[in-house]
Structure 1
């Protein structure tokens, strides 16, 4: 087996390793479901892309050693969890209490943006742990730290998009079964429930 074959084999192992973890319930998947149920797949695409870009950047810094720094500062980890949980609860509250009038809907209800989805990854401990686990399990890949971090991050980032899209499809199915205020409130509660995966 030559070097290229060995590298491809490792990248495939990363995909097989990460897919069950990425597709399992978590803040990204639950927020994507709620977003897509409320606004449709097309308007959810920016947040889906933001998640993938956000995790690529975060995995890069994790692979280059930032996680080891974070692990030595538990107060910082706790602060990230609190900030992330507070932000998700804020979005869920806005969605739950939004009025049905069109003017109110335009001013309050909107899909999660690219930037918001990308920044949310910073306070998502599931992403930090996934990056640290993948880095400790599969690195080094080529022997060059920056190339290794890039390959690992891009591979994991690519896996995120289809996995999150599956949850988006679930949101579309819910949209077809439920309508109006009922759907809005269920999606708000679903979004709020995602903080369980941030705090525990």
Structure 2
């Protein structure tokens, strides 16, 4: 049983540490606002993913995957939200400038990011199917998946955010910031492509 729990945690770590919309946003937030001010964003994403994994384990995620019309709506909303965030990040200047977002993304918006991302739904539904044998009931599986994804996302996002904060110490000129912000905005916008695959 312990090796299966370890394999679930390993799966969650690999799924959450790979670059994507959430990790890009955590990196950009760390660079612009610092690690401490980015904690609500990271917590929102981690809590959102943990709840999403629990919901998938309870079977609601498979309902979404079975309804193509609802999938399209979620994809459109998620894409629009990510593109809006990408535009805000790309237009940002240095943290001392008055351009770009004045506040980090909130806990609630971090949660929304995950709930509108079909890639997150597919990942958590896949995990629920793959690791169902770990639990004797859907509720127990919901707790296991929620904990694994919540812990893994917290660690992964903290690493990406710390990388962003480290980049902020290296960037000296407005031109450096412009390049970073354009790159982060472009990566965030590019993450929309994975939603439509």
Q: Normalised by the size of structure 1, how large is the TM-score?
A: 0.85
Give the Cα–Cα distance (whole angstroms) in 1 for the partners of residues 170 and 96 of structure 2.
Answer: 22
> Deviation at 1:170?
2.2
Q: Among residues 149, 169, 177, which one is paired with 1:176 in the alignment?
A: 169
Q: 1:95–1:17: structure 2 CA closer, same or farther, 3 Å change rule?
A: closer
The DSSP-based 3-state class of the residue aligned with 1:195 is helix
**Runs of 5+ consecutive residues of structure 2 not aligned to the other structure:** none
Give the Cα–Cα distance (whole angstroms) in 2 for the partners of residues 101 and 69 of structure 1.
Answer: 43
**1:158 matches 2:151:** yes
Q: Among residues 73, 84, 90, which one is paired with 2:67 in the alignment?
A: 73
> Deviation at 1:17?
2.0
1:4-153 to structure 2, matched below 5 A, reads 6=1, 8-97=2-91, 104-105=98-99, 108-153=101-146
Give CA deviations for 1:174-197 in whole Å, capped at 9, x if unaligned. 222334351443333333233223
Q: Normalised by the size of structure 2, how large is the TM-score?
A: 0.86
Determine which structure has more spread, i.e. the larger CA radius of gyration: 1
Q: How many residues align?
A: 193
Give CA deviations for 1:48-72 in whole Å, capped at 9, x if unaligned. 1111111111111111111221122
Q: 1:125–1:159: structure 2 CA closer, same or farther, 3 Å change rule?
A: same
Q: Provide the alpha-carbon RMSD of the alignment.
A: 2.3
Range with greater deviation from structure 2 (71-80 or 44-53) = 71-80
Deviating above 6 A after TM superposition, structure 1's stretches of 4 or more consecutive aligned residues are: 99-103
Range with greater deviation from structure 2 (79-88 or 166-175) = 166-175
**Runs of 5+ consecutive residues of structure 1 not aligned to the other structure:** 1-5
Q: 1:169–1:69: structure 2 CA closer, same or farther, 3 Å change rule?
A: same
Give the Cα–Cα distance (whole angstroms) in 2 for the partners of residues 36 and 160 of structure 1.
Answer: 15
Give CA deviations for 1:146-170 in whole Å, capped at 9, x if unaligned. 1221122112211111111221122
- Give the match for residue 192 of structure 1: 189
Q: 1:102–1:167: structure 2 CA closer, same or farther, 3 Å change rule?
A: closer
